[in-house]
Structure 1
Amino acid sequence: MLLLEVISGERLAKPERGKMRVHKISNVNKALHYITSKGVKLVSIGAEEIVDGNAKMTLGMIWTIILRFAIQDISVEETSAKEGLLLWCQRKTAPYKNVNIQNFHISWKDGLGFCALIHRHRPELIDYGKLRKDDPMTNLNTAFDVAEKYLDIPKMLDAEDIVGTARPDEKAIMTYVSSFYHAFSGAQKVFQDATLPLLLTSLHQSPGWVPVFRSVRPSHLTLLYLVHRIASPPQGTHSYRQLPIY
């Protein structure tokens, strides 16, 4: 509930302070009710399953939140959010050699699409002429490093994972690309930065996660970064399957 307040800028119903199962279910139901009040349809996402640690349900809810607060409001010529984001990418990268964005998976495997988006808006950050289509690892790492250092976009994708899979995860690529849209389009920033204490509180100060938040800059503590770190926790910390729901 605190996480929803951070990214929406609105106050939610007062949460239950108890730690019994009934209190946890009540709090999750309040969060789900808030999401539905924003016109979001929740299909097969129940509070009980989330409280019980159902990974599929939990990640489904997180993806729903990402869609609502980061992607759904993207609009280009009255298209859907996904189509609008794709059209925006196509237009921005059209002048670039070897870039042909047709989707949110294999079109991004060589890394040139990410580099082209950055170069189109901040040409001083990348020497695009030196990039090679046959060197995807360098292209991807260059884009991710530059985006993190100069654009304050969290490095939520891994170059090896993208290169090593036949079809990169569409939702992950789409979510990451939406960060570039919001960074460059002049639209209102939907992922509002949260302070370290607030996010620690939202996870009920789970001890295994304290090192995670101490190791990153406060400006990177966004929903997008939080989702990535929960899905891929560092060695010795809890995974999302083990996190308690409060």
Structure 2
Amino acid sequence: EQERVQKKTFTNWINSYLLKRVPPLRIDDLINDLRDGTKLIALLEVLSGERLPVEKGRVLRRPHFLSNANTALQFLASKRIKLVNINPADLVDGRPPVVLGLIWTIILYFQIEENSRNLEYLGHGIGGSVSSLDSVGNQKHGDLKAEKWKQGARKTLLNWVTNALPKDSGVEVKDFGASWRDGVAFLALIDAIKANLVNLAELKKTSNRQRLETAFDVAESKLGIAKLLDAEDVDVPKPDEKSIMTYVAQFLHKYP
């Protein structure tokens, strides 16, 4: 279930960037559509503003796929994003844990860390541009660094949310899971960014689903925040943390 929600969120996140490309691109299947590496490279180009060499054409075969995947991984390594125990073949073979892990690392770096550099005033930077992805296996050192990096990003984002929400809002966010289930935190965040877009008092009388749908619709139409989540995936006992972090990180851009 967690994997299903992550695939959906990450696909939406990738498309929100690929649509900015000229000409725009999109993916429908996260695992299969990234296998030849062309769209992965296109995504990295949009995110970084840099040009990367790419093998493209009508007849691409496995060696071309591997070359593209290698280009993408080398580019990430050049950004000091440490990719532990991941190789081009894993991407070309479409191994879901590896693909999801890679996209999460890209989100952490480009969406959360890049934005959190603007948050130095919180005094909780993520600490160095070194992330680590240990996709498979038991490389303890890699695991430890990956966990430290992830917790750093999580803490930075959580601190930002806590600071962004007005003290008198009565909204307490303790995590990127159950705290968001009823939709009130999303609405309060929208209200903190721009007043009078939502009527919190009225919406508190409605259901979780209605609040979530209203928040996602208003954030998209009024703040230009891509709708990455579906209400039914958040209104569950344990919402997917990575999906909620990915969505909430978009609000960083918009905060005055």
Indicate the larger mover: 131-140 or 18-27: 131-140
Corresponding residue of 1:2 = 42
Corresponding residue of 1:190 = none
Read off the aligned partner of 2:108 and give its amino acid letter: L
Corresponding residue of 1:128 = 200
Q: CA RMSD in A?
A: 1.8
Corresponding residue of 1:92 = 164
Corresponding residue of 2:231 = 159
How far residue 183 of structure 1 moved from its aligned partner, in angstroms, is 1.8
Instruction: Map 1:160-239 to 2 at 5 A.
Output: 160-163=232-235, 165-185=236-256
TM-score of the superposition, structure 2-length normalised? 0.67
How far residue 13 of structure 1 moved from its aligned partner, in angstroms, is 3.1
Structure 1 or 2: larger helix share? 2
Deviations for 1:197-218, whole angstroms, at most 9, x for unmatched residues?
A: xxxxxxxxxxxxxxxxxxxxxx
How far residue 117 of structure 1 moved from its aligned partner, in angstroms, is 0.6
Deviations for 1:146-189, whole angstroms, at most 9, x for unmatched residues?
A: 011111111111111211x211100000010000111225xxxx
Structure 2: segments with no counterpart, 5+ residues? 1-40, 127-152
Q: Which secondary structure state, in structure 2, belongs to the residue aligned with residue 41 of structure 1?
A: strand
Structure 1: segments with no counterpart, 5+ residues? 186-246
Asked if structure 2 preserves the Cα contact closer than 8 Å seen for 1:16 and 1:26, the reply is no
Number of residue-to-residue matches in the alignment? 184
Corresponding residue of 2:8 = none
How far residue 130 of structure 1 moved from its aligned partner, in angstroms, is 1.4
Read off the aligned partner of 2:174 and give its amino acid letter: Q
Instruction: Map 1:7-86 to 2 at 5 A.
Output: 7-15=47-55, 19-73=60-114, 74=116, 75=119, 76-80=122-126, 81-86=153-158
Runs of 4+ residues deviating >2 angstroms: 13-18, 78-82, 94-98
Read off the aligned partner of 1:160 and give its amino acid letter: E
Q: Which secondary structure state, in structure 2, belongs to the residue aligned with residue 42 of structure 1?
A: strand
Distance 1:172 1:151 in 2: 19
Q: Which secondary structure state, in structure 1, belongs to the residue aligned with residue 167 of structure 2?
A: coil
Indicate the larger mover: 62-71 or 12-21: 12-21
Read off the aligned partner of 1:50 and give its amino acid letter: L
Distance 1:174 1:113 in 2: 13
Distance 1:135 1:2 in 2: 40
Deviations for 1:78-104, whole angstroms, at most 9, x for unmatched residues?
A: 332321211111122243444110111
